[in-house]
């Protein structure tokens, strides 16, 4: 009997052990031309992809735009360890997101194939107006309650998890968010409850079960431009990449498994290594190099402002009041002048009689 277990049911420790770890994959890491290691990565569980890793290191700051001063990663994908036929291809998912927000890999991530990939970034910040000009909300309670910064997608998925828990008394399988941050239940929807959770999802999409989710008042987006080239070259693989991997014990074991030769034989030249022996095409599919960098050290700032604010309103009121007051004073002066002229005319007529 084969017992299957979904990623939502599996514990984080089980996923970490059964999936690819950053310690096994990482060959080289540098940020702003300074070396880094796996300790700067933080593990989190994805409902679909299993092991995911977040890199956030305040001590690494890009001071110059361009690939040489961004993040450089060289990774071993271990394609021989992929589970067939469940794996339809080789590669990774990448997402650059605002600090503190939940990374929605499935919805917003970009796919990286085994190659040398260049990803240039542009930053855009958006500030929106709240009441009475707009309907944005800061939602400061999200950080305290769920441990993440508010985003509209996080709100919609948390709402779906909550609705499914209240109506179906189980965990929905239609979100990429880690449901354990919302509810402590470990019951995944199965049997007739799968239909219940599907009906809740459809009702939410139709608007029958609306979620009070608005845009955040402030958020940061990163637009990406991606290009790639075939990597590594045969000579680079034999003369540079394999010797580099041999300096790490974990990678050295993988070299032995992939080539049939240990690093001492390769290093000393005692192994008769030819291109056919190494099976270059198979080995090349194991490696991915990433250059992630800012295209320029400037950003786009979009800010909503009132088309007619209180200062302009008071200014217009003052101008209007001044106009009427000025007109009234002028009319009064003219009236007095008219009365004086009439009085002088009457005196003139009386004197002439």
**Residue 2's pLDDT band (cuts 50, 70, 90):** very low
Between CA 313 and CA 163 the distance in angstroms is 44
CB 121 within 8 A of CB 222: yes
Interhelix angle for 192-206 vs 152-168, to 10°?
140
Quote the pLDDT of residue 11.
Answer: 53
Quote the pLDDT of residue 3.
Answer: 25
Evaluate if residue 294 carries a pLDDT over 50.
yes
CB 156 within 8 A of CB 213: yes
Evaluate if residue 70 carries a pLDDT over 50.
yes
Instruction: Say which residue the tokens 């929905």 belong to.
Output: 172
Quote the pLDDT of residue 46.
Answer: 80
Q: Which of 150-154, 160-164, 173-177, 289-293 has the lowest mean pLDDT?
A: 173-177
- How is residue 349 written in tokens? 């007529």
**What's the mean pLDDT in 39-67?**
83
* Of residues 275, 230, 274, the one with CA closest to residue 114: 230
Between CA 24 and CA 46 the distance in angstroms is 19
CB 176 within 8 A of CB 47: yes
CB 251 within 8 A of CB 76: yes
Between CA 264 and CA 74 the distance in angstroms is 22
Quote the pLDDT of residue 9.
Answer: 46
* Residues 6+ away with beta carbon under 8 Å from 187: 169, 170, 171
Report the half-sphere exposure of 177 (CA within 13 A, side-chain side). 26
What is residue 231's DSSP assignment? -
Question: H/E element holding 18?
Answer: helix 12-18
> In this structure, are strands 116-127 and 287-303 parallel, antiparallel, or unpaired?
parallel
Residue-wise pLDDT for 19-31, tens only, equals: 778 888 899 999 8
| Burial status of residue 2 (CB atoms within 10 A of its CB: 0-12, 13-18, 19 or more) | exposed
pLDDT, mean over the chain: 82
Residue-wise pLDDT for 99-123, tens only, equals: 889 999 988 999 999 999 999 999 9
């Amino acid at each position: 009997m084969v017992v299957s277990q979904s990623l939502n049911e599996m514990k984080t420790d089980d996923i970490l052990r059964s999936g690819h770890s950053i310690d096994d994959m990482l060959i080289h890491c540098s940020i702003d031309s300074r070396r880094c290691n796996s300790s700067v990565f933080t593990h989190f569980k994805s409902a679909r992809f299993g092991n995911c890793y977040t890199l956030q290191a305040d001590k690494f700051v890009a001071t110059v735009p361009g690939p040489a001063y961004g993040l450089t990663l060289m990774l071993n994908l271990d394609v021989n360890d992929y589970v067939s036929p469940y794996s339809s291809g080789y590669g990774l998912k990448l997402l650059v997101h605002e600090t503190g927000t939940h990374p929605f890999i499935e919805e917003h991530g970009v796919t990286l194939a085994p190659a040398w990939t260049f990803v240039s970034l542009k930053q855009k910040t958006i500030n929106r107006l709240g009441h009475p000009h707009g309907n944005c909300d800061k939602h400061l309670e999200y950080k305290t309650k769920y441990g993440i910064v508010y985003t509209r997608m996080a709100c919609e998925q948390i709402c779906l998890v909550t609705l499914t828990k209240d109506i179906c008394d189980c965990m929905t399988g239609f979100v990429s968010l880690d449901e354990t941050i919302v509810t402590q239940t470990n019951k995944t929807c199965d049997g007739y409850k799968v239909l219940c959770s599907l009906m809740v999802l459809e009702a939410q999409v139709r608007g029958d079960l609306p979620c009070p989710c608005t845009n955040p008042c402030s958020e940061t987006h990163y637009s990406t431009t991606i290009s790639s080239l075939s990597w590594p070259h045969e000579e680079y693989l034999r003369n540079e990449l394999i010797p580099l991997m041999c300096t790490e014990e974990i990678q050295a074991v993988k070299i032995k498994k992939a080539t049939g030769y240990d690093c001492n034989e390769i290093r000393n030249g005692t192994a008769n290594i030819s291109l056919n022996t190494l099976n270059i095409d198979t080995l090349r599919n194991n490696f991915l190099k990433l250059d992630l960098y800012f295209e320029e050290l400037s950003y786009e700032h979009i800010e909503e402002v009132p088309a007619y604010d209180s200062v302009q309103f008071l200014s217009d009121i003052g101008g209007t009041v001044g106009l009427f007051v000025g007109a009234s004073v002028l009319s009064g002066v003219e009236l007095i002048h008219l009365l004086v002229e009439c009085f002088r005319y009457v005196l003139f007529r009386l004197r002439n009689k």
